[in-house]
Amino acid sequence: MSANRAAGPTTALALRAVPRWDAEADVVIVGLGAAGACAAIEAARAGARVRVLERAGGGGGTTAVSDGMMYFGGGTALQRACGFEDSVEEMFRYLSAACGPEPDEARIRVYCEQSAAHYDWLVELGVPFKAEFYPGRMLSPGEEGLTYSGNELVHPFRDQAVPAPRAHMPQKEGQAGALLMQKLCAEVERAGVEIATNVLCERLIVDEDGRVVGVAATEAGVTRHDRAHRGVVLCAGGFVNNREMIRQYAPALRKARFRASTEGDDGRGIRMGMGAGGAAIRMSMGSVTLPFYPPKQLMRGIFVNRYGQRFMPEDVYQGRAGEIALLQQEGRVWLVLDDESFERPVFAGGEVHAAETIEELERELGFAPGSLAATVALYNAGAERGEDPLFHKAFEHVVPLRTPPFGAIDLSWDKAIYAAFTLGGLATDTLARVLNADGAPVPGLWAAGRTAASISSPGYSSGTSIGEAQIFGRIAGRSAANA
C-alpha cells in the first residue's frame, strides 16, 4: 500500500555507547498492533511496568485495517453456540496438515490449546461476537460470527481432520479490525501501560553479555534510549513493504500487486532482532490470496497452467489458490469455464478470452495443440460420473464443461489481484522468546505477530495471523514480565 522505504542500520547498539536513559520500564514493547497490545496487557497484568513505543500517531497497525477475522477452535463458546463440535486435537491435526510442509508443531499445539480460552478473554474485553454461522465462503457481508476460512472442507484436509468452522469475526458489518484494535487499545490504557507514539524504534541495546536491555529510537528527529529492565518484545509487523528485503528474501512475492499491509510493515522489527543475534527463518514465505471467487459458481471451472494442465482442486480457499498459483505455477494461470459456469470474478479482475470450441480457445491461449483439449476431456469424463479423480474437488462443484462458448479468465499475476503479506520472521519458541541460529534464546528478547516467523510454512488459513499475533503476544508479555 505505502511506498517502499529502505530501513536504516539495525545492528544492536552496545550499552556502553548509550549516553543516558530517557525513560525506563520493566518491559518495553515495540509496536501497538494486535501482538503489541496483547503483550502489553498481559505484561501489565503480571505486575510489570510497561512502556509501548509506536511509530504511528496511535495504535492499530495493519490489524486495524484488516478484516479482523481470527482463527480459533478446539470448542470455543461461539462454536458451541452455533452448534459445531470441535476439539484441540482436530484443530491441531488440521493446522499441522495445512501449515505444511514443515509445520511448527510445538507452537501450533500451544496455539490450539489456548485458542478457546483466548476467545473468552476477548469476550471479557468487550469484543462482540454474534452466535450465528455464515455458510458462504470467506467474509460475510453481514454480522455473523463464525465461518470456514481455510481448507477444512477441501481435499486432502477434509480427510485428515474432522472439519469445523474456526473463523471468528467480531460483530460488525464489513471490516472488523478497527473495532478489535479499539477494544484492545482501551484495555492497554486501562491496564496502566505507558504509550509513546510517533517514536520510530531503530536498534536494540545490548549489554556486554549480549542481553537486550533497551531500545534506541527516534522521536521528532532526536535519538532517545529507553531502558528495559526485564526485556523487550518486538511486535512491529512484517516486511512486505521493504522492497529490498522482498528482493533479498522473498522475490516471488514481488509479483503480488496488492501488499496487505500498512507503512509499519517495513521489516525494521525483524532486522532489529537480527541485529541482536536473532535468527530470521522462513523468510521466503508469504500469505498470497487470489480472490477468484465470489461468485462461488466459478469453482465449477478448471484452473490450468501454461501447459494447459490442472494443478489443484478449484474449491480451495483463496489463500491456498494464491499460494499455489503464484509460488508453484509462477503466477501463470487461467480459469476455464463454459457458458453455464461463466461469471466474472467480483474482486480478482483478470482478462477474458472466449471461443466456440476448446481447440480454438487452446490456440488463442497459445497452448500446445491438444493439451487443453485433453485436460477438458479427462475432467469431463470424470464429471459425467460426478467425480474428480485427479484433485477430488467436492462433488457439488463438479459439472462437465460442454456448453459453448467457452471462456478462459487469465488470472496471471500481471492481470489479476494477488494480495500478499510476509509470514517469515524471527525464530521464536513456545514462550515467544527470540532464538539465535543455534536455537538458544537471545536473553531479554521476545517477538510476536508478523515480526516472528508464522506457524505457517507456508500454508495459510485466514485468521491465523491475527490469531497467533494475539496468543503469542500474550505469552510474550507474561514471559517478559516474569523474566
> For residue 173, what is the DSSP state?
S
List CB contacts of 161: < 8 A, sequence separation 6 or more: 90, 91, 93, 94, 97, 152
What SS3 state is found at 43? helix
By 3-state DSSP, what share of the chain in percent is helix, strand and coil, each rounded to 5? 30, 20, 45
Residue choice 10, 62, 305, 479 for contact with ligand FAD (CB under 6 A): 62
Question: Does residue 481 bind ligand FAD (CB under 6 A)?
Answer: no
Is 291 a residue that touches ligand FAD (CB under 6 A)? no
C-alpha cell at 195: 504509550
Q: In whole angstroms, how close is the CB of 9 to ligand FAD at the nearest point?
A: 13
What distance in Å separates the CA atoms of residue 223 and residue 211, rounded to the nearest whole number?
21
SS3 312: coil
* Cα distance between residue 224 and residue 215, in whole Å: 8
Contact status: 479 vs ligand FAD (CB under 6 A): no
Q: How many CA atoms lie within 13 A of 60 on its CB side?
A: 16
Dihedral sign computed on CA atoms, order 270, 273, 277, 278? negative
The amino acid sitting at 90 is E
What φ, ψ does residue 13 adopt, rounded to 5°? -95, 135
Residue number with CB closer to ligand FAD (79 or 261): 261
Q: Which stretch binds ligand FAD (CB under 6 A): 55-63, 87-95, 114-122, 429-437?
A: 55-63
Omega of the bond leading into 458 within 30 degrees of 0 (cis): yes
The Cα–Cα gap between 204 and 223 comes to: 13
Q: Which CB, 90 or 202, lies closer to ligand FAD? A: 202
CB 305 within 8 A of CB 375: no
Q: Which of 68, 291, 301, 313 binds ligand FAD (CB under 6 A)?
A: 68
Site for ligand FAD, residues 251 to 270, rule: CB under 6 A: 260-262, 264, 268-269
Residue 151 binds to ligand FAD (criterion: CB under 6 A): no
Binds ligand FAD (CB under 6 A): choice among 13, 27, 32, 290: 32
**Which position among 56, 108, 185, 281 is part of the footprint of ligand FAD (CB under 6 A)?**
56
Closest separation in Å from C-beta 406 to ligand FAD: 34
Q: Which residue lies nearer to ligand FAD by CB, 245 or 358?
A: 245
Sheet strand arrangement including 258-259: 258-259, 419-422, 286-289
Q: How far is the CB of 454 from ligand FAD (least distance, A)?
A: 9
**Least distance from ligand FAD to the Cβ atom of residue 356, Å:** 40
Instruction: Name the minimum Å distance from CB 105 to ligand FAD.
Output: 20
Residue 28 interacts with ligand FAD (CB under 6 A): yes or no? no
Which x/- pattern over 327-356 shows residues binding ligand FAD (rule: CB under 6 A)? ------------------------------
Stretch that binds ligand FAD, among 33-41, 219-227, 331-339, 474-482 (CB under 6 A): 33-41
Q: Which of residues 181-210 bind ligand FAD (CB under 6 A)?
A: 200-201
Which of 291/444 has CB closer to ligand FAD? 291
Per CB under 6 A, contacts with ligand FAD among 429-458 are 449-450
Identify the residue among 233, 466, 471, 475 touching ligand FAD (CB under 6 A): 466
What's the closest the beta carbon of residue 428 comes to ligand FAD, in angstroms? 12
Give the burial class of 196: count Cβ atoms within 10 A of its Cβ; 0-12 exposed, 13-18 middle, 19 or more buried. Answer: middle
Which residue among 30, 108, 185, 434 contacts ligand FAD (CB under 6 A)?
30
- Chain residue whose CB lies nearest ligand FAD: 33
**Residues of span 221-240 touching ligand FAD by CB under 6 A:** 235-237
Could you tell me which residues come within 8 angstroms of residue 366 by beta carbon, excluding any fewer than 6 positions away? none
CB of 192 to ligand FAD, least distance (A): 20
Sheet containing 130-133: give its strands across: 70-71, 167-168, 144-147, 130-133
Which residues does 443 contact at the CB level (< 8 Å), separation at least 6? Answer: 209, 210, 211, 212
Dihedral sign computed on CA atoms, order 15, 17, 18, 19: positive
How many residues comprise the chain? 483
Q: Three cell numbers at 373?
A: 483439449
140 binds ligand FAD (CB under 6 A): no
The one-letter amino acid code at 226 reads D
Which member of 10, 63, 140, 436 binds ligand FAD (CB under 6 A)? Answer: 63
Q: Using an 8 Å Cβ cutoff, are 204 and 232 in contact?
A: yes
Nearest-approach distance from CB 300 to ligand FAD, in angstroms: 26
Any contact of residue 465 with ligand FAD (CB under 6 A)? yes
111 part of the interface to ligand FAD, by CB under 6 A: no
- At residue 437, what are phi and psi to the nearest 5 degrees? -65, -20
In the set 29, 35, 164, 206, which binds ligand FAD (CB under 6 A)?
35
Binding residues for ligand FAD, per CB under 6 A? 30-36, 53-56, 60-63, 65-69, 200-201, 235-237, 260-262, 264, 268-269, 421, 449-450, 462-466, 469
